[in-house]
Structure 1
Amino acid sequence: MGKDEDRFRKIYKQGKLTITEIWVDNVTGVNYLYHQDGYAGGLTPLLDREGKPIISSSSSY
């Protein structure tokens, strides 16, 4: 990964005032959910049914 490349890439966005986004870590492939409502926001890894992080295949990031 080059110096000018970003570590995270936004792959989904919904909303204007209340925002929900999905971000992918370009190094590990782990998917994260970001949610913002007003001045509050949070970031958490997306988990599958077994509680393991969802990881995108290297071909999709």
Structure 2
Amino acid sequence: MAKNERFEKVYSQGAMNITEIWVDRETGVNYVFHCTGNAGGLTPLLDREGKPVISPVVNR
């Protein structure tokens, strides 16, 4: 992985129905990606209060 890539995959499950969590390295915002067959979607990961989940940003 190149050092200048903005997004990092931190979680993945499934083979036909894929669910992944990606972290934006600049903002720390977590995103959920889900795909089944030819359809997929990406949305911010929210906590139970409806606020985006934000991971600490580590300078690399």
- Structure 1 and Structure 2 fold alike (TM over 0.5): yes
Name 2:52's counterpart in structure 1: 53
Are residues 1:41 and 2:40 paired?
yes
| Residue identity opposite 1:47 in structure 2 | L
Normalising by structure 1, we get a TM-score of 0.86
**Between Structure 1 and Structure 2, which shows a larger proportion of helix residues?**
1
Normalising by structure 2, we get a TM-score of 0.87
The gaps in structure 1 that reach 5 residues or longer are: none
Name 2:31's counterpart in structure 1: 32
How large is the Cα RMSD of the aligned pairs? Answer: 1.8
Q: Which runs of 4+ in 1 moved over 6 A?
A: none
